[in-house]
């Protein structure tokens, strides 16, 4: 039996287990199973891997995307540049880290970009923002990070976002958990009244399908997209990594 799984903590609302279980059934992939492995402390990672002799690969979610790196034997160039791992391939005990978030994000975003989407505001500076900013650099899109506690000299506070900034920055990407179930009445604190049809709001949150952030953008005529397709695409990219020759 080939074993795949997910590490993180907590894992109550995991996308991956349901997705891969359905994939195995639909595509008649036999002798394969996908399990959740809640891991409160990343220091338990080596023991976990050692206890799973049939393990072929893992997905990694919060809070371990960066913390797991010292326990790996090798990093794919993209994962190294991003500084975060969401996929691990186990090849005879040798563990290689990858980041398929950037694949899923790019493939789901790129086809919807318009010529005027040259400047982006990335809401949040946590682990999820790392793959986003890496992808924006690849696409030649300039960006500024927005958070409650700015870390870099070019970062913005939410209260600094005004009509002039939104005139230039027409791509807004939410990498925070604001609006995620069950706290569906929350949204990044932005002056949504300055949005219009030129803006594109992308939310990495996928549950609910339309967050308050997206509702507010749509009400102003903006294009919107949630993170579900990104999750599917990153999962399929992980599957290819685990099963490549």
Catalytic positions = 65
Consecutive H or E run containing 29: none
Instruction: State whether the Cα torsion 144-158-231-37 is positive or negative.
Output: positive
Exposed, middle or buried, 25 (CB in 10 Å: 0-12/13-18/19+)?
exposed
What gap in Å lies between CA 83 and CA 130, rounded to an integer?
A: 7
Residues contacting 104, CB < 8 A, separation 6+: 229, 230, 231, 232, 233, 234, 235, 237
Q: How far is CA 76 from CA 81, 98, 173, 184, in A?
A: 9, 5, 25, 36
What gap in Å lies between CA 180 and CA 198, rounded to an integer?
A: 25
Please choose, from the candidates 242, 176, 245, the residue with its C-alpha nearest in 3D space to the C-alpha of residue 16.
242
Residue 51 neighbours by CB distance under 10 Å: 9
The radius of gyration of the chain from alpha carbons, rounded to an integer in Å, stands at 19
């Amino acid at each position: 039996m080939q074993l795949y799984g997910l590490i993180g903590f907590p894992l109550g609302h995991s996308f991956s287990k349901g997705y891969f279980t359905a994939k195995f059934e639909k595509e008649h992939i036999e002798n394969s199973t996908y399990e959740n492995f809640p891991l409160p402390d990343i220091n338990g990672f080596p023991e976990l891997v050692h206890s799973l002799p049939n393990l072929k690969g893992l997905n990694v979610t919060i809070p371990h995307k960066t913390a797991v790196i010292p326990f790996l034997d090798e990093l794919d160039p993209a994962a190294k540049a991003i500084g975060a791992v969401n996929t691990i391939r186990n090849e005879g005990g040798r563990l290689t880290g990858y980041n398929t978030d950037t694949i899923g994000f790019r493939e789901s975003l790129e086809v919807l970009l318009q010529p005027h989407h040259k400047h982006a505001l990335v809401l949040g500076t946590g682990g999820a923002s790392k793959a986003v900013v890496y992808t924006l650099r690849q696409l030649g899109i300039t960006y500024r990070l927005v958070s409650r506690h700015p870390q870099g000299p070019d970062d913005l506070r939410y209260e600094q976002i005004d009509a002039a900034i939104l005139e230039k920055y027409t791509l807004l990407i939410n990498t925070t958990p604001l609006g995620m179930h069950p706290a569906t009445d929350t949204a990044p604190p932005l002056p949504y009244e300055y949005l219009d049809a030129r803006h594109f709001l992308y939310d990495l949150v996928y549950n609910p399908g339309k967050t308050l952030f997206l509702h507010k953008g749509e009400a102003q005529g903006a294009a919107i997209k949630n993170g579900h397709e990104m999750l599917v695409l990153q999962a399929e990219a992980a599957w290819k990594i685990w099963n490549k020759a």
